[in-house]
Each structure stands twice: as C-alpha cells, then as structure tokens.
Chain A
Amino acid sequence: MIHQLFGSIADIAAGWVVAITTLQLGLVISAMVEMRRLRQRDRHQVWRRVLRSPLAPRISILVPAYNEEVTVCDTVAGLLALSYPNLEVVVVNDGSPDETASALISRFDLRPVHPVYQRLIPTADVKSLYRSSREPRLVLVDKFNGGKADSLNAGINVASGDMVCAIDADTLVAPDALQQLVAPFLMRSDTVAVGGTVRLTNDSRVRAGRVTELVVPKKPLVAFQAVEYLRAFIIGRLGWNPLGGNLIISGAFGLFSRQAVLDAGGYEHSSIGEDMELIVRLRRHGHEIGEPAWVEFLPEPVAWTEAPDSIRVLARQRNRWERGLIDVLSRHRRMILNPRYGAAGMLAMPFFFLVELVAPVVEAIALVLLLVGLVTGLVDPAALWILGAAYGFGAAVTVLTLWFDDVVFHSYARFGHRLKLAFYAAAEQIVYRQLTIVWRLWGLRLYVQGRTEWGQQVRRGFTTG
C-alpha cells in the first residue's frame, strides 16, 4: 500500500504542476485576446491632446516613504517631470528614523505650511506639512510611524486630486504613464482602480528619474524575479481583465478614484497585503451596494522598481506577500464561490485560493514525500522524469509569456538579453521555484502564529549614468 502510494507520488505531483500550469496557460491566452482589444482601443492615442489640458482630472501621487533617503529624491524628481498637466505629489514620511524628510526638505527647498488637514480617514498623528517654494505641486506630510497603509491614508486625506496614484518611494514612473492610466476613468464611469505594469530597475541605467537602458539583472536572484514579474503581470493581471476578475493592483503603481477609496474607508491598517485587500474590498463593496466596480489592468503604462537582491530580504518580502494573501482570502472568505460577487467571487478568489495558497503546500508535500521515497527506495528514480516533464511545461509557458512581452513591449532589445531570460525561465523551475515554496510555507507558518510585521528592505539607490 505504502509502496503504491509512494510509487504514484511523482505522478500526483506532476499532475498537479501540469494542472496549475494549464490554468496559467489559459490566462496567457486570455491575456493575448485582451492585449489585442486594448491595442485596438488605444492605437489612435485618443487621449494624447485631451490629457495635456489643464482641465484633465487632477491626480495626486501618493508616495509613502519609510527609510527611503537613498531613492526618495530621485523618485520625486521623476514624478514632478511627468507629462501630466494637473498633478500633485504627496510624499508621506512615515516616521522614518533616517534622513528621508531632511533629504527632501533640502533638495526641494520645502517650507512648513498651515498644518491643518481634514482627517477623513483616521491615521497616526501628523507632525507637520511642507510645501516647496520652487515646486508648488509637491507636498510633504511628516507623520509618526503607522505603517504603509496608514501613510497612504494620510496621503489620501491631504490629497486634492479626483484620483490618487499609489506608488512606492523607490518607484520610477514612465513619462506618459499617468495619461494612459487615467484613460479607463474617462471611458467607464464605474472604474474605481487602474493598475499598470511594474518592472525591475536593478542594474539598468537611470538618468533624471528615467530608465534609459533596461538590462537583464546580473545577479541570478534578481534575474529570476525579472522573469517572475513579467509572467505575473501578464498572467496574474492582464489575463484577468476580460474575465472581470482582476483582484490585484500593485501597491507600487496604481490609480484609484479618491472618492471610491474614501467610501470604502481607505486602506486597511491591520492588513499586510493592503493593496490587494483594498481592491477586493472595493469590488465587494460595489457588489453589495448593487454597483459593481470596474478594476482594469493596463500593460503599457510602466513603473520601475528595485527588487531585493539578497535572499534574506527577498525571503522576508515573499513571506509577507504570502501572509498578505492569506489575510485577504481569510477576511473575504465569504466571496469565495459566491455568485453574488460575480467573476471575482466565482473565478478569481477560488483561483487565488487554489493556485497561490494551496498549490505551494501541495507541491511541498509531494516534493518531501518524493525525496523520502527516493532515499528509502520506495520510489523508482525514473519517476523523476515525469516531474521534470511538468517543470519543462512550466518553463515553456514562461517562455511563451516572454515572447508575448517581446511582441507587445519589446522590453529587452538585445539578443543576449533574450537568451539570458530564456535561460532563467528554465533555471527558475529547478532552483527558484522550490525556494519560493519554502518562503511561502514560512509565511503561512508566521500567519498562523499571528505575526504581522513588515520587515525591512535595504535600498541601494538607482544606477545613474
């Protein structure tokens, strides 16, 4: 009996991997269909002139900053240079012990202004507000530490825009990204959130807040993440658009209707995955009041961010993401398979539960049993071929997403870059995939223990040239 069980472990594991990869393949195809639709819609750049108008909807970019003294000034300089006519940049210093606030104050000549604001969402106390004497569009909110969600809420309170764009302090935004992001709001009145693509800047050249040359990161750990990001944004976001089940707008780059966020009560302080939680809550709220909210992902507006380049920091980030996911699924478990919540409840939530939460656990159990079986001789070593085949299929789907990315965005312009990416797509299945499973299980364990801290990321600053 045990022999039989162990004998079929490899088949079960491979079947599971193939099933999950097939679901992902379905989303790649869905992404292709969606991309065609978006291309046809946006081909004629309808918004290019309209959105140069001073009458364009006002956008407040929220930049929560905690210990970001290395990158925050470059980020803000890049944001102020964006080609959007009606813009405000609200930097929220979340009680950073480093020189984040003073770096901004000296670089942009910030002065304290009337420190009165309307607390529409409760937040930690604000110490002072600053405005720049050179750049009237810049506001700095200096507050006591309260976490990222709290900072975003403070930014929403102070913001004067019809829309708020949440980005990370180490994020660089492409010059025309906001003009593209705002378009769905002009086309559909039920739009509450629009997200764009996030790519990695590690080792790429940055000048005056702009990415001037994109290269494949040199460190394998970061290169794996570059491949992973490409796949995640095509499968996990674009693929969900036509199905109406988009549940994630990246915290590093998303545009929201300020009023919709205020109506929903702002970002949830106690959630670790505050970006996903907000989107799920906006969708849930929309369905519950009979006005389903539209959330759209646009692949073309791009923002750039720095990925962790050490295993320790990456592990912390991934286990936090995992805890965030579990937290969101647990808070909104009523939505799972509930037809009242449309595609979000019937498709997206079950998918996230199965593929993002259950799959790593099942794969980990299967891998451990397989290893035990091989050591004890209960499993025939030939069974490894079937697992290898499943991983080969996974790598093939990843290359398909890379190809898709090349057709649509032409992100990596050199043959050498493409070759490296293809190599990492294969290597990812053998090394990186197993590591992410370990980090996810670690996150699951911490969640069960009730640990909610964020962990720190060390910023290296952008490579200038």
Chain B
Amino acid sequence: MRFQLFLAAWALFAVLVVGYLGYGSLADVGRFIIARRRRRTLSMLSVLLFESDREASAAYDAAGRVPRRVLLDVIQTLAVDLSGQANDRLRELTRVSGLQQFIVKRSRSRRWRMRIQAAQLQYLVVDPNFDRAALLADPHPLVRARAVESLDDTQGEEFLDLLLALLADSSVAVRLAAQQKILDVGTPAVPALQHHMRHCDQRLIEVLELAANLADPRLVETLDEHASAPDASMREMTAVALGNGVARLVAPILLRLMNDDSPAVRAAAVVSLGAVGDLASVTEIGRHLSDRSWAVRRACGVSLDRMGSAGRMVLRQHLSDPDPFARDMARQVLDSAAQRGLPGPSPLIDPLHEIDESELADSIGTPSSFARGVFAVADGLAS
C-alpha cells in the first residue's frame, strides 16, 4: 500500500511534468503563429495607414479579410498614438470592416469588460448618434477612465464641460485621466477652465493643479481669487500656478502669500517668485531666510540663487545675519554656487547643519508632493 502511494505521488508528478512540458511546447508554437499573424497584419496596416492613397486602397480589401479578433487586437495596440491622416484611414477601415457597429454594440453591453473595449476604441466611431457621453458617465470607473483617455483632442474640446465635471469624480483614475485630457487639449481649454474656476467649488485642487501645468498667463487673474481660499493646499497650489505668470501681475499676490500661516504656502510662493524672476522681491525673500520653517528657508535660498547676481548679493548680505539659520542657509547656497564656478563666500563647506525636532514643530504642514517635486527640480538645476 505504501509503495503504491509512493508510485501514485510520483506518477502525478510525472503527469504534471509531461503536461507542463507539452503545454509549454504547444504554447510556443501557438505564440509563434499568433506573432507571425500579428506581424503580417501590422505590416499590412502600416501600408494602409501611412502609404499613398493608391496603395492604401488596395490594402483595405486585404485588411477586411483579417479575422476580426486579430484586427481588433492590432488596432487596440496601434490606436494609442495615431493622429491625422492615419487616424482617418483607421476610421475608414473600422467602417468598411464592420468594426464600428461592433464597437457601438459593445458600448451598450451590460458587462463592463465589453464596454471598456468600446471605450478604448470609441474615438474611431464616426456615427453622430453614437453616445460618447454615456461612456464618459459609465457606472464603472475603469470604463469612465478609459473613455476619457481615448478621446482625441478634438473630441476632448467638444466634451470639455464633461471633463471638467469629471475632475470631481470619486475615482482617482478618472480624475487623473480627465486632468491629462484637458492638458492635452491645451490652450483652447483655458476659457472653460477659467469659467470653472470661478463658478465651481468642488475639488478645485485638481483644477488648480491643471492651471499650474497649463502655464497660461490668462489664468492668473482667476487664480488671484483663490489666493485667499480657506484650504491651505488650495492656496499652495495657487502659489505654484502663479509661478507661470508675468512678474508684474503675480508678484503682489505671491508677496501676500509669503506671509501665509501655512509654511507649505509660503514655500510655494517663494519658489514661484523665484520662477517669475521678480527682482523687486529679493529683499523680501531674503527676509524669509529666517522663516520658522526649514522648507521656506530652503525655498528662499534656492529662489535667490535662481534669481542670479541680485539674489546672490542678498544671500551674501545674510552671511552676517544674526539669525544662525538664515546665515547657514545663505552659506550653503553660496557654497553650492561656488562649486558651479559662481562667486561664493569661501571654499569651505560648513559641517552639516542638523535641524532640531523642536525647531521643526512649526513646519508640520510640509510642502505637497507637487511643490516638493518643484524643489527637487530646482535643487537639480541649482547643482
């Protein structure tokens, strides 16, 4: 009995090994065939999409004979980065091959996995009655995110209001996709964004983040209204966004934000003043080298360095500041500048200055990751 058990266990092992090896070999052959078929379809589609009209028209017939599953698979892979004539031809191909009806049908499916496929390819559908808004308002967040993501820029412009509304979506993925799509739309989105910033109070942080990334000076006047928002993170993002403006217009707002209660807001305001290069503010920035928060002091040092010789002159003045923290930061920045061949105080680098925990008590509101990213880049530029 024991021996039979032994045999049975190892026989099971042997069967599984045979299955594993056999399956692996068959799967290799299958993968080879699929890859070859895919390659052929891809090369045929590349003729169809990128060659002259005459060659392309011949390829339509051949593409129509490719099994729908393979064609769909290849189009899904290709579809991400196409534009212009290639996109128009792809639309034509989906029309003649009947894929458009297929996409429309899938968009009405009760299963989200079907709808997500339709969401991915919806930009290919030219039927004016096709309900894109339904996909953008789909109950499943992944379908909504996918639908937003696959809108082309023209469609993005058409659905701007809906995209702005999606910035308040409960799903992070949808919010992120909507933000990116508005960013893709670019300048044409600015008026709608301005309007939204004035009249909507839901999840404005995403809108302000967009404003910071769109870097359009027209947004500055609207941003002024948010500089006194009750939420510190909104004031901080406003300060970051103001960094894209014209010094003359934004400096007064940023100087006001430099006296904010939140260290994160103060730090972001200082970084933005450095970015717009408002030379009239150098003295005020220098004054903040003695700020309670290290983040603000660091931002002041980096900003003054960025502002060139005027900023570095202020830093040199602070080498004799009675406040040891201001003195220390000024020395560190100037030492760093000296390493880049710019005039510095001395070749000596001070020993590392450790910040006392109690001293940090005032800087509980650390800068947001966005502002921290700005600091990181600023540091990189400085070095």
Contacts and interface: CB of A to CB of B under 8 A. Distances in A.
Interface of A: 40-41, 43-44, 46-50, 53-58, 86, 88, 111-120, 125-128, 131-133, 135-137, 139, 160-162, 185-187, 189, 382-383, 385-386, 388-393, 395-396, 399-400, 402-403, 406-407, 410, 413, 415, 418-419, 422, 425-426
A118 B295 CA distance: 8
B360 A118 contact: yes
Given A50-B176, A53-B180, A422-B17, A118 B366 contact: yes
B284 interface: no
Main secondary structure of the interface of B (DSSP, over half): helix
A54 B374 CA distance: 12
B213 A403 contact: no
Nearest to B382: A113
A131 B379 CA distance: 8
B142 A41 contact: yes
A399 B11 CA distance: 12
Contacts of A406: 20, 23-24, 27
Given A389-B8, A407-B27, A422-B17, A131 B380 contact: yes
B149 interface: yes
A41 B113 CA distance: 8
Contacts of B173: 46-47, 50, 186-187
B354 to A, nearest CB: 7
Nearest 9 Cβ contacts at the A-B interface: A136-B380, A392-B9, A160-B372, A53-B180, A392-B10, A385-B2, A389-B9, A385-B6, A186-B173
Contact of B24 (A131, A400, A418): A418
Interface string B50-72: 00000000000000000000000
Interface in B242-256: none
B332 interface: yes
Contacts of A162: 369
B369 A125 contact: no
A111 B213 CA distance: 29
9 contacts: A50-B149, A55-B180, A58-B369, A86-B373, A114-B329, A125-B352, A160-B372, A403-B19, A407-B27
Nearest to B25: A415
A150 to B, nearest CB: 16
B383 A426 contact: no
A266 B113 CA distance: 39
A116 B17 contact: no
Contact of B379 (A58, A136, A388, A395): A136
Contacts of A139: 376
Contact of A418 (B13, B21, B295): B21
A185 B327 CA distance: 42
Nearest to B77: A45
Contact of B28 (A50, A136, A413): A413
A344 to B, nearest CB: 25
A83 B323 CA distance: 44
A189 B20 contact: no
A389 B21 contact: no
Contacts of B353: 115-116
Contact of B20 (A44, A119, A403): A403
A21 to B, nearest CB: 10
Nearest to A395: B13
Interface string B1-37: 0110110111011001101110111011001000000
A111 B9 contact: no
Interface in B135-178: 141-142, 145-146, 149, 171-173, 176-177
B113 to A, nearest CB: 6
Given A118-B360, A393-B12, A407-B23, A44 B146 contact: yes
Interface string B346-381: 000100111101001001001001101101110111
B333 interface: yes
Which among B21, B141, B179 has the greatest number of chain A C-beta atoms within 10 A? Answer: B21
A115 B328 CA distance: 11
Contacts of B301: 114
Contact of B352 (A53, A128, A410): A128
A204 B152 CA distance: 42
A77 to B, nearest CB: 17
A426 B27 contact: no
A114 B298 contact: yes
B21 A415 contact: yes
A162 B349 CA distance: 32
Given A55-B183, A131-B383, A160-B373, A118 B332 contact: no
Given A40-B113, A50-B176, A418-B24, 10 more contacts: A55-B180, A113-B379, A116-B353, A118-B295, A139-B376, A162-B369, A186-B176, A392-B10, A403-B19, A422-B21
Given A111-B339, A187-B141, A390-B9, A116 B294 contact: yes
B117 interface: yes
A132 B383 contact: yes
B9 A393 contact: yes
A120 B381 CA distance: 26
Contacts of B295: 118
Contact of A422 (B20, B332, B372, B375): B20
A46 B149 contact: yes
A202 B25 CA distance: 24
B233 interface: no
B336 interface: yes
Contacts of A422: 17, 20-21
Given A185-B172, A395-B13, A383 B2 contact: yes
A16 to B, nearest CB: 15
Which among A88, A160, A186, A189 has the greatest number of chain B C-beta atoms within 10 A? Answer: A160
Nearest to B297: A116
A139 B383 CA distance: 11
Nearest to B182: A55
A395 B332 CA distance: 62
Contacts of A389: 2, 5-6, 8-10
B92 interface: no
A113 B142 CA distance: 42
A88 B370 CA distance: 12
Contact of B363 (A41, A49, A58, A118): A118
Contact of A112 (B180, B329, B339, B363): B339
A44 B145 CA distance: 11
Given A50-B173, A58-B373, A392-B6, A403 B23 contact: yes
Given A113-B379, A160-B376, A125 B20 contact: no
Contact of B357 (A58, A119, A161): A119
Nearest to B180: A53
Contacts of B262: none
B116 interface: yes
B149 A410 contact: no
B6 A49 contact: no
Contacts of B9: 388-393, 396
